[in-house]
């Protein structure tokens, strides 16, 4: 066959192969496309079904699906989080900023030139200057009564109160209570937004609360958290006989929040933010508030009589915890944790009159179980002189019920008046009963030693030095801190002795 015919046939064959090749590609593409469309249809259909499933299970129960016979426990998705908007928007209007203006000593410096020429080395350029500190407060009446912390207004020459709406007023201190770190001030205004008291007793662990104040010069800051603990005792109040039963929360509180509001989800005042526990000076996770039960009582006392009506039972005590059991359980016969162990009873006090005896364990007060010292102090902090309170007491193997009529610090059942003086607060310091060894060395029967002197008190003004042992006030013998606390007369004279044996007398002139 001629070579030309062979070439022509070969070209025809290759042309047919190309047609079948392209046809194969087309058919394969079509098949693949159909499969792809089917897969995509199934995929997006599954997504659509999944989205529908997710929509259908919102706020409902669902069970895990399985092809096996295994039964899975149903679970619940809960999206009913607390709505804090009403509480926040309502309460923030009643929280104020308080600027306290105090006098402090100016920075003093030594003059090296005078020292070089032999002049006595002293301080030069001293004097007093104004210092401004900030805190928060809560309006509790439409006519301008505001509750805050004692440490916010302590020693203030002037108070400036700024409201949420921008208005500012001068404030006047109505009364203070260092024992609970609560103070009441007043501004002259009408129809103010205010907060009503809620119930701190009804707060539950895990319940949501809001902290509102003016921290770090920020206006009207609101933070949220939960109640982490109740009846916390920290030993943080820098005052004798401090009453601590704090509400602990994890709402962020910083310097400037002091005196601000702790409110529940209904916008009710359940505490006054007071302390943060921190090693840095700023919030690190724990904040503490004075509970409403104490705040309300102190505010009523200060408003009505200008003085806090502190009730006294007349015992010294210790909480019955594991440490007590380990240290004193065998000697006291107390075997189980819980309650307040009565370590001593004042001869003429309310407890003695009611029949409470040394060695008793007080289990309940007015029906409240006393789990620790803080709960007992909170319950006592709500009482007034003259109030009758009931106690459930364990004595040995018996449980008995007793009723006591509480007294004031002077041993009477009457309420105190503005003329009665808190001598410990008026002196302005910290005190300790003089030790037996020190009394023997100085040949005295007893006394109260000054361990610290606060600014602005009578001790500082009279130039009494730390270490001084007070033996008489107003010519009355003072043998212990307990006897000092009972005094209510205005102080006119202080007598005592220094540890080196030098006797001194100080006359107080107002």
Catalytic machinery residues: 151, 181, 258
- In the chain, helix, strand, coil percent, each to 5? 25, 30, 40
Distance CA 420, CA 305 (A): 11
45 Cβ contact partners less than 8 Å away, ≥ 6 residues apart: none
Distance CA 251, CA 209 (A): 8
In 241-381, the DSSP E strands lie at: 246-249, 261-263, 269-276, 287-291, 315-319, 340-345, 361-365, 368-369
Smallest CA-to-CA distance from 247 within 310, 205, 298 is with: 205
User: Phi first, then psi: what are they for 393, rounded to 5°?
Assistant: -125, 135
Q: What is the DSSP letter of 237?
A: -
In 178-328, the DSSP E strands lie at: 182-186, 208-213, 221-232, 246-249, 261-263, 269-276, 287-291, 315-319
For CA atoms 303, 307, 313, 318, give the dihedral sign. positive
Distance CA 88, CA 219 (A): 14
């Amino acid at each position: 066959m001629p070579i030309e015919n062979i070439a022509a046939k070969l070209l025809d064959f290759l042309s047919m192969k190309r047609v079948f090749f392209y046809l194969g590609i087309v058919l394969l593409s079509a098949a693949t496309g159909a499969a792809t469309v089917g897969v995509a249809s199934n995929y997006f259909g599954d997504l659509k079904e999944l989205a529908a499933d997710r929509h259908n299970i919102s706020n409902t129960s669902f069970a895990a699906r399985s092809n096996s016979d295994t039964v899975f426990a149903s679970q619940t998705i809960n999206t009913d989080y607390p709505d804090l908007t009403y509480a926040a928007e309502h309460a923030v209007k009643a929280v104020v900023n308080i600027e306290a203006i105090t006098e402090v000593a100016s920075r003093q410096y030594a003059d090296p030139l005078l020292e070089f020429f032999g002049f006595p080395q002293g301080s030069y350029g001293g004097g007093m200057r104004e210092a401004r500190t900030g805190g928060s407060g809560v309006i509790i009446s439409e006519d301008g009564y505001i509750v805050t912390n004692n440490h916010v207004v302590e020693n203030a020459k002037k108070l400036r109160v700024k409201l949420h709406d921008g208005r500012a007023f001068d404030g006047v201190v109505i009364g203070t209570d260092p024992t609970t770190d609560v103070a009441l001030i007043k501004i002259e205004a009408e129809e103010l937004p205010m907060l009503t008291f809620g119930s701190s007793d009804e707060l539950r662990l895990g319940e949501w609360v809001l902290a509102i104040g003016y921290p770090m010069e920020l206006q009207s800051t609101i933070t949220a958290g939960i109640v982490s603990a109740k009846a916390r005792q920290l030993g943080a109040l820098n005052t004798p006989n401090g009453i601590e039963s704090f509400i602990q929360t994890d709402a962020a509180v910083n310097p400037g929040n002091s005196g601000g509001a702790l409110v529940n989800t209904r916008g009710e005042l359940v505490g006054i933010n007071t302390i943060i526990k921190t090693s840095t000076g700023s919030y690190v996770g724990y904040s503490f508030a004075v509970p409403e039960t104490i705040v309300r009582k102190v505010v009523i006392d200060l408003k009505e009589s200008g003085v806090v009506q502190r009730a006294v039972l007349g015992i010294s005590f210790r909480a019955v915890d594991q440490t007590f059991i380990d240290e004193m359980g065998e000697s006291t016969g107390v075997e189980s944790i819980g309650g307040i162990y009565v370590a001593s009873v004042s001869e003429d006090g309310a407890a003695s009159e009611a029949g409470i005896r040394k060695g008793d364990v007080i289990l309940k007060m007015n029906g409240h179980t006393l789990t620790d010292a803080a709960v007992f102090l909170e319950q006592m902090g709500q009482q007034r002189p003259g109030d009758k309170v009931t106690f459930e007491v364990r004595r040995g193997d018996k449980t008995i019920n007793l009723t006591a009529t509480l007294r004031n610090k002077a041993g009477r059942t009457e309420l105190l008046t503005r003329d009665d003086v808190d001598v410990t607060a008026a002196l302005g310091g910290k005190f300790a009963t003089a030790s037996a060894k020190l009394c023997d060395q100085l040949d005295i029967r007893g006394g109260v030693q000054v361990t610290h002197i606060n600014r602005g008190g009578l001790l500082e003004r009279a130039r009494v030095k730390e270490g001084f042992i007070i033996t008489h006030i107003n010519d009355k013998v003072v043998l212990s801190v307990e006897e000092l606390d009972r005094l209510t007369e205005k102080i006119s004279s202080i007598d005592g002795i220094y540890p080196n044996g030098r006797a001194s007398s100080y006359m107080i002139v107002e």
